[in-house]
């Protein structure tokens, strides 16, 4: 049970970190687009 729970937690943490990285990259890309359009 503990090993399975740890594996689930590891997968969930990886999923969360991946989602944060994707959202950050999208935000940075949008920022670049905004600066390009406004400047």
Give the integer Cα–Cα distance in Å for 23 and 16. Answer: 11
CA 13, chain centre distance (Å): 11
| Tens-digit pLDDT string for the chain (39 aa) | 688 889 989 999 999 999 999 888 888 887 777 777 766
pLDDT at 38: 66
Is 30 within a domain?
yes
Is 1 within a domain?
no
The total of structural domains in the chain comes to 1
Is 2 within a domain?
no
pLDDT at 14: 92
pTM: 0.55
Give the integer Cα–Cα distance in Å for 6 and 28. Answer: 33
Identify the sign of the CA torsion 6, 8, 10, 13.
Answer: negative
Is 27 within a domain?
yes
Domain that holds residue 29: 7-38
């Amino acid at each position: 049970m503990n090993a399975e729970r740890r594996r689930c937690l590891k997968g969930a943490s990886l999923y969360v970190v991946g989602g944060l990285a994707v959202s950050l990259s999208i935000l940075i890309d949008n920022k670049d687009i905004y600066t390009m359009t406004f400047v």
